[in-house]
Amino acid sequence: MPPAEPSKQPDDGSAVAAIRVLEPAGEPLSAAALTEQLGLWERPSEPPPRPRVLLNMVETADGRATLGGRSGPVSGAADRELFHALRASVDGVLIGAGTVRAEHYGRMLRDPALRELRERRGLDPEPLACIVSGRLALAEDIPLLREPEAHVVVLTASEASLPELGARIDYVRTPGGQLDLAAALAELATRFSLASVMCEGGPHLARQMLADGLLDEVFLTVSPLLAGGEPSGGEALRILAGAELETPAELELLGAMRSGSYVFLRYAVMA
């Protein structure tokens, strides 16, 4: 994006913030063409100490991340296309156990064309499915765990293991009785050669990742819906759930797009 315009000085000497009109501008792009421009699959020259972590979330215009406990009703066709195109561009997908259960996660990429695209880019046919479950609270009927083509890594502080369910399941365990996300991500980089990871939430995991300084970018879809509900009311979650951050994270806008009345925002998380 072009740099922001400098603030202008009015007659009284105070600074006036410049506001840039983003629409209309540019030509329409498909989700595939957009992610091709981003080049998220490109490998760094040196192995990183931890993967680059990108958060991908959708919310209503009043901040709801789910309706009826699921994100699907908040999403739209273009958002779903972008969701899968982003998945096809990264080494791994990071998901909290609660989201895996609520959204009934299955195979990471069902479209053979996306799997072939990944192989042309030098990636494995599917991103590694990385489930965060500190207590290993995963039901055996989750479709992803029963998918024979899936490779799942569970990030946990538990010493227990899941039964053989169909998917290939490995474990990243951190000692001390509580999951150390930073250490677990570092092991994903060294043991599984992950350079990029798309975090798909849920809101509790997203908040913890942000609080621990482990998020690098945010892809946020704003849906043209107003839903109401109190964030503390169980299912009425925002994209970040839990205690207020001690210091709000500062974001830098990298891009802004739209499809119909859906708005797609890309931010860098400032150190």
Instruction: Please list the pLDDT of the chain residue by residue as tens digits (271 residues).
Output: 344 444 445 555 566 766 666 655 667 888 888 888 889 989 888 888 999 999 999 999 999 999 988 899 999 999 999 999 999 999 999 999 999 999 999 999 999 999 999 999 999 999 999 999 999 989 999 999 999 999 999 999 999 999 999 999 999 999 888 999 999 999 999 999 999 999 999 999 999 999 999 999 999 999 999 999 876 655 678 999 999 999 999 999 999 998 999 999 999 999 7
Q: What's the rounded Cα separation, in Å, for the pair 37 and 71?
A: 27
Whether 119 is in a domain gets the answer yes
Range of the domain at 261: 31-269
Three-class secondary structure assignment of 133-156: CCCCCCCCCCHHHHCCCCEEEEEE
Give the pTM: 0.89
Residue 10 falls inside a structural domain: no
Interior angle at CA 170, CA 137 and CA 186, nearest 5: 95
Residue 25 domain flag: no
Asked whether the beta carbons of 207 and 172 are under 8 A apart, the reply is no
Query: Sign of dihedral through CA atoms 187, 193, 195, 199?
Result: negative
If one counts the domains in the chain, the total is 1
Indicate whether 26 belongs to any domain: no
Instruction: Judge whether 87 lies within some domain.
Output: yes
List the CATH number of the domain containing 138.
3.40.430.10
The DSSP bridge partners found for residue 55 are 199, 218
Tell me if 253 is assigned to some domain.
Answer: yes
Asked whether residue 22 is domain-assigned, the answer is: no
66 lies in a domain?
yes
